[in-house]
Structure 1
């Protein structure tokens, strides 16, 4: 299991390859990469803050829960912090399991958690200023299925 909270950019293809190379006995590998979205067409950057140590512990705890719940062979979670430009990878989840249903379900569970419960604070920066991103009802509702 690898949990990385980092300011540095990462290459999703390279990370997926490293993850796959380190897994044996899996019948399914699922990867998901989230990108910084510019829904308004005005985003200059996304600034992400977190509390070092607390964030990693929280993500590791939920990754361990997912690994036990879906009998995962391995888990990877990468999440960036700092200033990110539109289109940059912001996070990645990879899961490995004996069967695809477990790998997909665990990856969705982890993504839903990261979106709504992981201790990150996001600020959208535009030419007009900066604004903190509020939690969305649909993100909160997604957790109810788990």
Structure 2
């Protein structure tokens, strides 16, 4: 479920979502999904792929190596935030995603990139904390 006004979201199990109000602004949440909420990465498989990579001669080694490194570091959460969307909503210019991740980690939160988008950020921080970090507040 996601708020169409302030980007808040919550997860519900099951195929038929229960009506829910936004905890931040009170708007009716809109169902999104269905979403896969299980694990998306198998660390053993990724490690074996990284071990095999030096023998690959297809010319894509560095790109694949970066992708596999991102996959290994990616948090095992079911959803992400697009930090550019949050920056736009906060009316600030988005900084480096690496800086946002470092700041969240310095505050004690887990944070990582997502392998499927250059602007996707996974974290256990609340939306409010994420907004504060992105907007510099």
TM-score, normalising length: structure 1: 0.24
Q: Which has the higher strand share?
A: 1
Higher relative contact order (CA 8 A, sep 6+): 1
TM-score, normalising length: structure 2: 0.25
Q: Which structure has the larger Rg over C-alpha atoms? A: 2
